[in-house]
Amino acid sequence: MLSTEPLRHMGAQIVDFPVPECAEYKFASDDYWRCLAIFYTATIFHPVGTCKMGPHYDSDAVVDPELRVYGIENLRVIDSSIMPKIPRGNTNAPTIMIGEKGSDMIKKRWLQSYEQN
């Protein structure tokens, strides 16, 4: 495609920066492009990740694996914003799953505190 007139006219060129997930393949080979298509396809309609879930030592993480906000008691984030990366597919099903799992976590904690009293 780079040899077509419109792209030549614009001075388009391939950025020779291999992505880490595809480093095992020769840059610009068919296998490399297959790998790139798997790891770098994304939706632009359902951004996520503003409250990334991750371990306490990850400086980008906002919530822990129990969806609790680091440094704030009694606050959880239970929506698609906890996904650390945008999934390649629609976010509807994973978001429903996050909501269901989050509600289970809240109920479990509430029951444990109720039983202790």
Query: Tens of pLDDT along 64-112?
Result: 999 999 999 999 999 999 998 877 778 889 999 999 999 999 999 999 9
- Round the average pLDDT of the chain to a whole number and report it: 89
Q: 61 and 114, same structural domain?
A: yes
Which residue range is the domain that position 69 belongs to?
A: 45-117
35 lies in the same domain as 49: no
Question: Using CA of residue 54, residue 56, residue 62, residue 68, what is the dihedral sign?
Answer: positive
- Judging by beta carbons within 10 Å of its beta carbon (0-12, 13-18, 19+), is residue 48 exposed, middle or buried? buried
Same domain, 55 and 30: no
The residue among 49, 34, 26, 62 whose CA lies nearest residue 95 is 49
Cβ(79)–Cβ(67) below 8 Å: no
Do 60 and 108 lie in one domain? The reply is yes
Q: Are residues 61 and 114 in the same domain?
A: yes
> In total, how many domains does the chain have?
2
* Catalytic annotation, residues: 46
Report the residue count for the chain: 117
| Residues 92 and 64 grouped into a single domain | yes
Same domain as 15, residue 50 = no
Q: Are residues 11 and 54 in the same domain?
A: no
Report whether pLDDT(30) > 90.
yes
Note whether 57 and 11 are same-domain residues.
no
